[in-house]
Each structure stands twice: as structure tokens, then as C-alpha cells.
């Protein structure tokens, strides 16, 4: 695992698209008329005539759209094209309807759109209970995180591995409002997050085919091959959560018109039903059993120590600096290695340890630990490590067992 040097200044953070001012629409000069027309069609607007070869007249979806229309030029070949585009963008900004807002978001940040639909009973006036909408958002986020993990490595089960960087990649994703707990849209910017959308698209189709194969033959073998497409226990768990309490669920990826369709990613909708849940759970259990432990040599700082008596073996918790794509690991050490780890902490040095990262418990435990040794660093870096440790823990809990839920078996 590669880390930023401790003395390197922080890189400036890219402004998040959601912070862009929405009190004005995108500039006409930045909008391709063909892209605008494609987005209007995607979001349910209907073309109802217009001067052939010059512009089209578009009306919004729903019964109340008859009195509203946009004139969208077919190209910039005519002198009034920018004027028509400006008027159309102003009308979208004033509209306030979900479809108009979605079009403006996709124009401002060229994005692949991921749509989720759940067939659930509707509440009064199209409302949804808090738990129904929360369940949809939670399942959607689980699915995006599973796809982000698959862009970093292929594995049937990730546990804590790559989770920090995968979760950080979701900061680029914008989310629309959930409609009555039934539907939700995520806008995944083409730059830099298109690989996430592509991986999710391919993984969903692979899982769908593997479920069908299991039903037809009784074998789970197809799920092994689906790992190459991005399938994992994390994805099967997200799908189980998505279909729970529904009569079925659907996922569609619509590609950004400005960027085109990626290779081997034909348009289409993937559907799952409550009847798929037993197979998805079987596959998740298979992924969990099959993922092997990993030999690693980890460098990390000791953040906690614990042993039940003054002498003998004990347990330490390391914050990982390098050697594994996890933030923390717990390590059981013999008495001498435990003493070395404790001394290294007291003098402000990280330690290096060889062992196997166990899949049981989510790749958060190192077994067979040996060759424990302090790692020499310069005084400046040692000061940084000591300051970081003081922020990470305090004296009252340093010599205690972590109570983090992720550390439980």
C-alpha cells in the first residue's frame, strides 16, 4: 500500500459539484444542444414538433406539462441557437420539477446516472415511511461502495480492505431525492468516477446470470467467475438489502450522452426479486468462506496494548502505515514481541511485523505474527507520529481492549 509521506503538505481538495451555485443555470456556451435533447428524452420529456432541422419543442412529463414547453435547437448552426438555449436553461431552472433539476445536474456535471426502483406499497399522497426511504438509500450506498471496492481489486470478500479509499471515492457522487421510497438516482461524474459505474454495471449483470444459473443447475460455480466482473459478498449483501420488503427491484445505468457508451456496456435494466435472496445469501457465504488469508509485512503505529496479566503474551492494535489496505489490525504477540511493541510506542517509533491477514473478522487480525521490530524514523517524523497518536487515543483507554464494533469476531 502506498501512503503520502508524513511531511508532504495536503493536496487541495477538488470543489464538490454539489457546492456549485444553483441560482443560475449552466451557460448556453457550455451546453451541447444534442446532449440537452438526449437528457430531456431520458428524463421523460416529450418532443412535440418544432421546425424540422432547426429546433424541437419539448414538454415535461406528467399531466401538468401541457402548458410548459422548451424550444431546443438541433445544433449551433443558426444565429438564434444560443438565445434558444439560454431561454430553455432558464425555464428548466425556474421549473423546480425533479426531471428539470436532474437535467440541470447532468448538464453541470457530465455524469452517468444510476437508477434504483423498488416495488413497495406507497404511502398517503405518494409519501414513504422514514425506514422505507432510509432502506433504499442504505442499499444504494452499499452497492456503490461494493462497486468502488471492485475498482481497486477483485475479491469475493473485502472486509476492511480498501474500504477507506473506496468510501472516499463516493464523495464525487451526487444523489437525487428518493421518490416515495420507490426510486433513487445517483449522478456519477464521468471524470473521475466512470470506472465505478462501469464496474457496477458489469457486476450486476454477472450476478444476475449467476443467480439464473444457480436456479437452472443447482450449482453456485458461476459466482466464482462473476468475481472477475466485480461481484463480491459486499454486492450480494447490498442486493439482499435492496429487495428486502419489496415485490422486486430494478437497477439501470444510463450513460452520459456527452461521453458516450463504454465498451461492452449495452443499455438495459437488471431486475432482482425476493425469490433471489436465498441464492444471494448462499453466494455471499461462499465468498466469505473462499477468500483466503493474505501473507503481509505490515508497518504500523501501536495505538493500544492489552494483556490479562503483568507478564506473558498480549494483544496490540496497530494503525497501519503500509503493507495492507486496512486502517487497523489487531495482533496477538508473544511476551518478548509484546515488550518490543510497547517499548516502540513509548519512544514514538512504528513497528514492522510479519504475519497473515485473516479473512475471518474482516481482514482485521494478523495471525502467526513474528519478526516484530521497531522502524527507525527521523526526529521530525517521530514527532508527527507522537502527535498523531495523542489525537488518536488517550491514556485512559490505551491499555485496554478496543470497543470498536469492527474489532469484534
| Greatest C-alpha distance within the chain | 88
Kindly report which listed range (11-20, 79-88, 312-321) carries the lowest average pLDDT score: 11-20
Judge whether residue 385 has pLDDT over 80: no
In whole angstroms, how far apart are CA 333 and each of 7, 240, 309, 311, 408? 31, 39, 14, 12, 18
pLDDT reading at 328 higher than 90: yes
Q: Does residue 397 carry a pLDDT above 50?
A: no
Compute CA distances 337 → 5, 135, 316, whole Å: 27, 46, 10
Burial class (CB in 10 A: 0-12, 13-18, 19+), 206: buried
* CA 310/CA 313 separation, integer angstroms: 9
Domain boundaries, the chain: 21-108, 111-290, 294-407
Tell me: pLDDT of 407 over 70: no
CATH no. for 294-407: 2.40.50
CA distance 188 to 126: 27
Residue whose entry in the numeric block shows the C-alpha cell 412535440: 48
Q: How confident is the model at residue 234 (pLDDT cuts 50, 70, 90)?
A: very high
Q: What percent of the chain has pLDDT over 90?
A: 63
Distance CA 139, CA 114 (A): 13
Query: Among the ranges 17-26, 339-348, 374-383, which has the highest mean pLDDT value?
Result: 339-348
- Is 409 a residue whose pLDDT tops 70? no
Backbone angles phi, psi at 188, to 5 degrees: -105, 105
Q: Taking 60 as the threshold, does the pLDDT of residue 82 lie above it?
A: yes
Amino acid at each position: 500500500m502506498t501512503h503520502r509521506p508524513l511531511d508532504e503538505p495536503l493536496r487541495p481538495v477538488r470543489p464538490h459539484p454539489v457546492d456549485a451555485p444553483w441560482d443560475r443555470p449552466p451557460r448556453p456556451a457550455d451546453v451541447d444542444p444534442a446532449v440537452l435533447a438526449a437528457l430531456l428524452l431520458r428524463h421523460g420529456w416529450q418532443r412535440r414538433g418544432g421546425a424540422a432541422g432547426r429546433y424541437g419543442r419539448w414538454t415535461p412529463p406528467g399531466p401538468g406539462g401541457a402548458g410548459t414547453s422548451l424550444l431546443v435547437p438541433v445544433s449551433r448552426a443558426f444565429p438564434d441557437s444560443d438565445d434558444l438555449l439560454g431561454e430553455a436553461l432558464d425555464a428548466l431552472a425556474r421549473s423546480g420539477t425533479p426531471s428539470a433539476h436532474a437535467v440541470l445536474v447532468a448538464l453541470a456535471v457530465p455524469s452517468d446516472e444510476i437508477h434504483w426502483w423498488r416495488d413497495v406499497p406507497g404511502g398517503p399522497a405518494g409519501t414513504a415511511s422514514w425506514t422505507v426511504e432510509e432502506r433504499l438509500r442504505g442499499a444504494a450506498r452499499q452497492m456503490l461502495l461494493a462497486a468502488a471496492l471492485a475498482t481497486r481489486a477483485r475479491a469475493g470478500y473485502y472486509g476492511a480492505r480498501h474500504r477507506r479509499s473506496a468510501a472516499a471515492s463516493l464523495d464525487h457522487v451526487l444523489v437525487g431525492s428518493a421518490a416515495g421510497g420507490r426510486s433513487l438516482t445517483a449522478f456519477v461524474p464521468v471524470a473521475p468516477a466512470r470506472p465505478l459505474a462501469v464496474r457496477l454495471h458489469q457486476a450486476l449483470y454477472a450476478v444476475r446470470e449467476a443467480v439464473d444459473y444457480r436456479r437452472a443447475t443447482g450449482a453456485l460455480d458461476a459466482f466464482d467467475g462473476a468475481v472477475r466482473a466485480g461481484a463480491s459478498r459486499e454486492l450480494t449483501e447490498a442486493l439482499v438489502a435492496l429487495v428486502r420488503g419489496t415485490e422486486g427491484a430494478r437497477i439501470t445505468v444510463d450513460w452520459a450522452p456527452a461521453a458516450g457508451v463504454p465498451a461492452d456496456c449495452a443499455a438495459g435494466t437488471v431486475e432482482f426479486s425476493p425469490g433471489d435472496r436465498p441464492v444471494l445469501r448462499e453466494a455471499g457465504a461462499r465468498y466469505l468462506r473462499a477468500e483466503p488469508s493474505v501473507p503481509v509485512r505490515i508497518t504500523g503505529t501501536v495505538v493500544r496494548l492489552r494483556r490479562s496479566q503483568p507478564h506473558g503474551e498480549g494483544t496490540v492494535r496497530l494503525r497501519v502505515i503500509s503493507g495492507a489496505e486496512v486502517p487497523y489490525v489487531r495482533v496477538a504477540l508473544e511476551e518478548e514481541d509484546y515488550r518490543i511493541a510497547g517499548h516502540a510506542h513509548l519512544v514514538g517509533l512504528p513497528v514492522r511485523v510479519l504475519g497473515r491477514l485473516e479473512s475471518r473478522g474482516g481482514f482485521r487480525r494478523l495471525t502467526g505474527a513474528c519478526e516484530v521490530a521497531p522502524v527507525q524514523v527521523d526526529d521530525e517524523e517521530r514527532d508527527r507520529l507522537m502527535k498523531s497518536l495523542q489525537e488518536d487515543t488517550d491514556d485512559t483507554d490505551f491499555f485496554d481492549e478496543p470497543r470498536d464494533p469492527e474489532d469484534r469476531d
